[in-house]
Amino acid sequence: MALLQISEPGKKSINPKVKLAVGIDLGTTNSLISSGYLGDVEIFPDSSGHVLLPSVVQYRQDAQPIVGEKAKMEILVDPENTVTSIKRLMGLSASETQNLPQFEQYTFDSSRGDESPVIITRAGRKDPIQISADILSGLLARIHSAIDEDIEGAVITVPAYFNDAQRQQTKEAANLIGLSVLRLINEPTAAAVAYGLDSNEDGNTIVFDLGGGTFDVSLLCLKRGVFEVLATGGDTSLGGDDFDYVLSDWMSERVFDHGQATLKERGELIAYANSVKHELSLHNSVSLSFNEWRGTLDSVEFATICEPYIKRMINACRRVLRDASLSKEEIDNIVLVGGSTRMPIIREAVESFFEKPPLTNIDPDKVVAMGAGLQAEVLVGNKSASDFLLLDVNPLSLGIETMGELVEKIIPRNTTIPVAKAQEFTTFKDGQTSMVVHVVQGERELVSDCRSLAKFELGGIPKMVAGAAKIRVTFQVDADGLLSVVAEELSTKKKSEVQVKPSFGLSANAVEEILNSSHKNAKLDLDVRALREAQIEAKQLIDAIKAAKEGDGDLLEESDSGRIESLVHQLSEKIPNGTSQEIREMTELLNQITSDFAASRMDRYVGQALKGEAIDEIDQ
């Protein structure tokens, strides 16, 4: 007898092999959660149908915290225990929070210093990780109320400018509530993925993100399946709320004598201004009514009132283009993110500046969470990696060998891939015309303790003094884990490159052994690196002094020359056997003693350069 699966009418069919994964937009003002478990990726609402969860937590004594809309209603009533905008404290030290006016209503633990800040509430001491974890719990409750399955993992979005500390604390917040993080991805990348731009041909995309409290603009470049953030900008003190404030100020001048209003009236007027702003997104003109005052406002006058803020946003876009050395004509797509981009005055300003319409067919509030949900479906195995850009991580750090057989890490381990990063290096010796680039993989500080991946040579470097040449080394890992390394001498544009597969022959056990070795030898490695760096610095100084004495030794008194020669001899003997501290101290002493000689040489060459020049020509 065959068994039939019976479904309730109206219920979506569920593939029993599908795993439950979620995408999370953990925002400064609002947060959202998405999943593709029930079919297409969708945003999960609360019991009232609201998809936005205000990123607000109110702490109560001997009770569970309140998260979201109900907590938001308590901001004016209980400001000391109702925490907002906690995302702005992620990665900061306690001392760095002292000059942030938006947090002045909270009581911080003043003894924390360089440690993570702690807010003292009636429910106890709360740091940014705990508060973020409570917001995540509020989001997960939406999933659990709709689906009775364990969550396999989450993709969480972060701003493109988030540093390692901020990203790590985001992961820790998820881990605190038992949520496995499949990947952290940049918010602009998630928005681009939601629009399917990752499957396009190579191109440049502007992601214009105007939230309630912050404004970010990012320029992404898609090359060979890799999203690279070329430039970021924006204003952390500018958001949709500022449009409410400036509109309420405009109305206050008309409603109250000399614009004077009580704190309560001010709060009511700001809330009313917010509703007017939303209405102007639907209609060209709005009738106004507050207390006994009546008036009208059209979209043209609203644009005039908000003009200073719009100018700030467009100027940020202009700076991002300048930083990336691109023109408006080279931008292929513009993606709008954040509910405040619904305002027609914003969309018109963006279209006018970039001279092309932005993409608007996905709800700007939802687009980042949608992109995160799409990535979660791929990473958990529900969809083929060929359907979307697969964002994986490199298991071990990638870098190159520098002087002293030291490793300079360019892409740290656990960096999300695809990724591209560049760093500039220079020559070690005068007249050096070529450079061998040795690509290595691993977590140790010495090349001999790491895995050699490839070697190639860059030639054609112009003859210059040591340190004058600029060689940019670019590491790019594509979606398939293929590493491309390009070395370019910037003045001549001479290039050389190699491609390798860092994961080739690298099993999970091998990765584990490499990591364990790095942990066991961490202290030893740091000491060895410090010693090698001190030795290199000392050798460079000795070489520089010898070259200077050969060319300008006549500037030295015989006694000074003898003293310098004696110290050079002592330092040379100390380099092979001394400690890093001993070598650095002697190097510093030699630097001090030769400072007058260096100044005399500078005077000589400046004098020679200016000889025969007229004063007015020098001034020019």
Torsion, Cα of 6, 10, 12, 16 (10° steps): -20
Same-domain pairing of 552 and 431? no
Q: What is the predicted pLDDT for the residue at 286?
A: 93
Same-domain pairing of 314 and 246? yes
Same-domain pairing of 43 and 185? yes
268 is catalytic: no
Of the residues 361, 381, 414, the one at which a domain ends: 361
Provide the residue range defining the domain that includes 535: 523-610
Candidate list 72, 87, 383, 409, residue with the active-site label: 87
In a domain, residue 321? The reply is yes
Q: Is 521 exposed, middle or buried (0-12, 13-18, 19+ CB in 10 A)?
A: middle
Candidate list 187, 198, 449, 489, residue with the active-site label: 187
Same-domain pairing of 57 and 134? yes
User: Across residues 576-595, what is the average pLDDT?
Assistant: 85
525 is catalytic: no
One DSSP character per residue, 224-264 reads TTEEEEEEEEEETT-SHHHHHHHHHHHHHHHHSGGG---HH
In a domain, residue 620? The reply is no
Same-domain pairing of 507 and 414? yes
Q: What is the predicted pLDDT for the residue at 143?
A: 95
Q: Judge whether residue 240 has pLDDT over 80.
A: yes
One DSSP character per residue, 479-509 reads TT--EEEEEEETTTTEEEEEEE-TTTT--HH
Q: What is the predicted pLDDT for the residue at 613?
A: 56
Q: What is the predicted pLDDT for the residue at 356?
A: 94
Q: Judge whether residue 507 has pLDDT over 60.
A: no
CB 36 within 8 A of CB 388: no
**Of 317, 56, 91, nearest to 184 (Cα)?**
91
Q: Judge whether residue 551 has pLDDT over 80.
A: no
User: Across residues 178-198, what is the average pLDDT?
Assistant: 86
Same-domain pairing of 343 and 402? no
In a domain, residue 9? The reply is no
CB 299 within 8 A of CB 232: no
Return mean pLDDT, the chain: 83
**Count of structural domains within the chain:** 4
Same-domain pairing of 341 and 398? no
**Confidence tier at 298 by pLDDT (50, 70, 90):** very high
In a domain, residue 16? The reply is no
Q: Write the CATH number for 259.
A: 3.30.420.40
Same-domain pairing of 402 and 351? no
For the chain, what percent of residues have pLDDT higher than 90? 33
Q: What is the predicted pLDDT for the residue at 618?
A: 44
Of the residues 520, 543, 562, the one at which a domain ends: 520
25 is catalytic: yes
Candidate list 152, 198, 209, 244, residue with the active-site label: 209
Strand order in the sheet with 398-402: 406-411, 398-402, 435-441, 451-458
Of the residues 459, 494, 520, the one at which a domain ends: 520
User: Across residues 134-160, what is the average pLDDT?
Assistant: 93
pLDDT in tens, 100-117: 666 878 888 888 877 888
Task: Specify the amino acid at residue 144.
Answer: H
Query: Residues 172, 175, 181, 187: is their CA dihedral positive or negative?
Result: negative
Q: Judge whether residue 159 has pLDDT over 80.
A: yes
Same-domain pairing of 161 and 75? yes
Q: Write the CATH number for 441.
A: 2.60.34.10
**Confidence tier at 9 by pLDDT (50, 70, 90):** very low
Q: Write the CATH number for 562.
A: 1.20.1270.10
Pairing label, strands 226-235, 53-54: unpaired
In a domain, residue 366? The reply is no
In a domain, residue 1? The reply is no
**C-alpha to C-alpha distance for 457 and 468, rounded to whole angstroms:** 19
Candidate list 25, 134, 489, 533, residue with the active-site label: 25
For the chain, what percent of residues have pLDDT higher than 70? 87
Q: What is the predicted pLDDT for the residue at 8?
A: 45
Q: What tokens appear for 440 in the block?
A: 């290595």
Q: What is the predicted pLDDT for the residue at 7?
A: 41
One DSSP character per residue, 502-532 reads TTTT--HHHHHHHHHHHHHTHHHHHHHHHHH
In a domain, residue 509? The reply is yes
Same-domain pairing of 148 and 239? no
CB 216 within 8 A of CB 159: yes
Contacts of 17 (CB under 8 A, 6+ apart): none
Same-domain pairing of 331 and 399? no
Same-domain pairing of 172 and 305? no
In a domain, residue 222? The reply is no
Q: What is the predicted pLDDT for the residue at 303?
A: 94
311 is catalytic: no
Alpha-carbon Rg for the chain, nearest whole angstrom, is 30
Does 267 or 376 have the greater pLDDT score? 376
Q: What tokens appear for 459 in the block?
A: 């030639």
